[in-house]
Structure 1
Amino acid sequence: MSDNEGRTDLRMPDDDEVFAVVTEMLGANRVAVRCMDGTNRTARIPGKMQKRIWIREDDVVLVDPWDWQDEKADITWRYEKQQADQLREEGHIQE
């Protein structure tokens, strides 16, 4: 277990979810994100996350792109800084 020291099992994206990095705070519960599929999207912070989870620029999040409007998405999960560093080390996130 020495090579996995400090590694935790992280929540991975479901079928339609994508890793993204927050690039800009837009206000009105919206953020600009750069998704790992190469698309820049406007993501919504859902009501259940607004008061409990603070989202800042450069945070790594999971987004669920909208079926009917590909340039928009909903944020479903935010990773802590340590978890985000682990995702980068494992190659899930390209800067």
Structure 2
Amino acid sequence: MPKNKGKGGKNRKRGKNEADDEKRELVFKEDGQDYAQVTRMLGNGRLEAKCSDGVLRLCHICGKLHKKVWIAAGDIVLVGLRDYQDGKADVIHKYMPDEARLLKAYGELSDSFRPNEGGGNDDDDDGNRVDSYFGFEEVDIDKV
């Protein structure tokens, strides 16, 4: 039998990134970059995000972040726009919730971004908030 030379499996590798508690410098967007909110995860290192310019883009998580930084629906990310494909972008950086609140306080994020909420858009065409449940009428069971 081969001798084990490693120090553990994938769970040990997952636990290595414990430097999240320390403060890090806030990253602002530059030319060719934009802020986006994740609407849904697609799998295979891809996600769908609504950018601050209102365009829904298919985004690819870069290798630096893939399997190291966990991204969920509703997170605020910095994406690098592609010159040759307007409908696609690359995720460069994920903002923590407190960093997203700071960006909103600085006026970098528009009011359409809600940093603490999930990715689903519960607004109707007029921009009014709609409850995401079905309403049913009460019917007398004897008549059915």
- 1:73 maps to what in 2? 89
Tell me the distance in 2 between the aligned counterparts of 1:44 and 1:9: 24
Q: Which runs of 4+ in 1 moved over 2 A?
A: none
Structure 1 runs not aligned, ≥5 long: 1-7
Report the CA distance between 1:9 and its aligned residue.
5.2
More strand by share: 1
**1:26 pairs with 2:33:** no
**Which amino acid is the alignment partner of residue 91 of structure 1?**
G
- 2:71 maps to what in 1? 55
SS at match of 1:47: coil
Alignment deviations for residues 19-74 of structure 1 (CA, whole Å, 9 cap, x no partner):
11111101111110000011110000012211211111111110011111100000
Structure 2 runs not aligned, ≥5 long: 1-23, 113-144
- 1 or 2 for the larger relative contact order (CA 8 Å, sep ≥6)? 1
**Which amino acid is the alignment partner of residue 58 of structure 1?**
G
**Which amino acid is the alignment partner of residue 81 of structure 1?**
P
Higher-Rg structure is 2
Tell me the distance in 1 between the aligned counterparts of 2:104 and 2:47: 21
- 1:4 maps to what in 2? none
SS at match of 1:86: helix
Percent same amino acid at aligned positions? 38
**What TM-score comes out, normalization by structure 2 length?**
0.58
**What TM-score comes out, normalization by structure 1 length?**
0.85
Tell me the C-alpha RMSD between the 2 structures: 1.3
